[in-house]
Amino acid sequence: MLSDYQNLIFTLILAMCLRIAPFPQVISHLNPDWVLLILIYWSVALPYQQGVVNAWVIGLLTDVLIGCPLGEHALIYSLIIYVCIMLHKRLRQIPLFQLMVFIFSCLLIAQMIVFWLESMQGTTQIGSVFGGDTLQVTRHFSMSFWLSILTGTLVWPFINPVLHFIRFFGKSAH
């Protein structure tokens, strides 16, 4: 029998493994932010145990794990988990399609914050079009920007019942 805390740790370790898994280049852009999806589930399921501070620490671990500037994912995760905790009662009641729209919004906000932070650091790839003054973002608003968001949204209907099963499996196995 696993406690909710042990289930959280197990699923986060699995999500971090999926986050750094070496997928082929063709499908690497389809890899969603698994850690954020898991954090969203647990913050809605157990809002009084999964808090903003936990999301911040897990974000720092994710930054170290994937080699991002320290605090980037910590900021993203803590902001999104704060919203999820504030809306947890509503999120439990809405239909799946509306929940998928919420997940899409969360993943889009996460990507936009990454874009904003990278543009402040000067690491965003911006190139001029035909040598003129018009600038276009070459990496972030390409198809790869949207694919991980869409993939995360489309896998949510499968993640939610699996995590629900993991959460209640240990309690009913007496």
Which of 172, 171, 162 lies closest to 42, judged by CA? 162
pTM of the model: 0.86
Which is higher by pLDDT, 28 or 135? 28
Vertex 117 angle, CA 123 and 80, to 5°: 145
Confidence category of residue 172, pLDDT binned at 50, 70, 90: low
Query: What pLDDT is attached to residue 120?
Result: 83
Q: How confident is the model over 112-133, as a mean pLDDT?
A: 65
**pLDDT per residue as tens digits for the range 75-97:** 999 999 999 999 999 999 999 99
Residue 137: beta bridge partners? 126
Q: How confident is the model over 108-129, as a mean pLDDT?
A: 74
Domain count, the chain: 1
Tell me: pLDDT of 54 over 70: yes
Q: How confident is the model over 116-121, as a mean pLDDT?
A: 83
Confidence category of residue 141, pLDDT binned at 50, 70, 90: low
Main-chain phi, psi angles of 46, to 5 degrees: -130, 70
Q: How confident is the model over 39-51, as a mean pLDDT?
A: 92
Tell me: pLDDT of 143 over 80: no
Which of 102, 103, 95 lies closest to 151, judged by CA? 103
Tell me: pLDDT of 128 over 60: no
Tell me: pLDDT of 50 over 60: yes
Q: What is the mean pLDDT of the chain?
A: 86
Query: What pLDDT is attached to residue 124?
Result: 52
Identify the CATH number of the domain in which residue 41 sits: 1.10.1760
Calculated CA dihedral for residues 131, 135, 139, 140, nearest 10 degrees: 180
Tell me: pLDDT of 26 over 90: no
Local structure of 81: helix, strand or coil: helix
Structural domain harbouring 44:
4-172
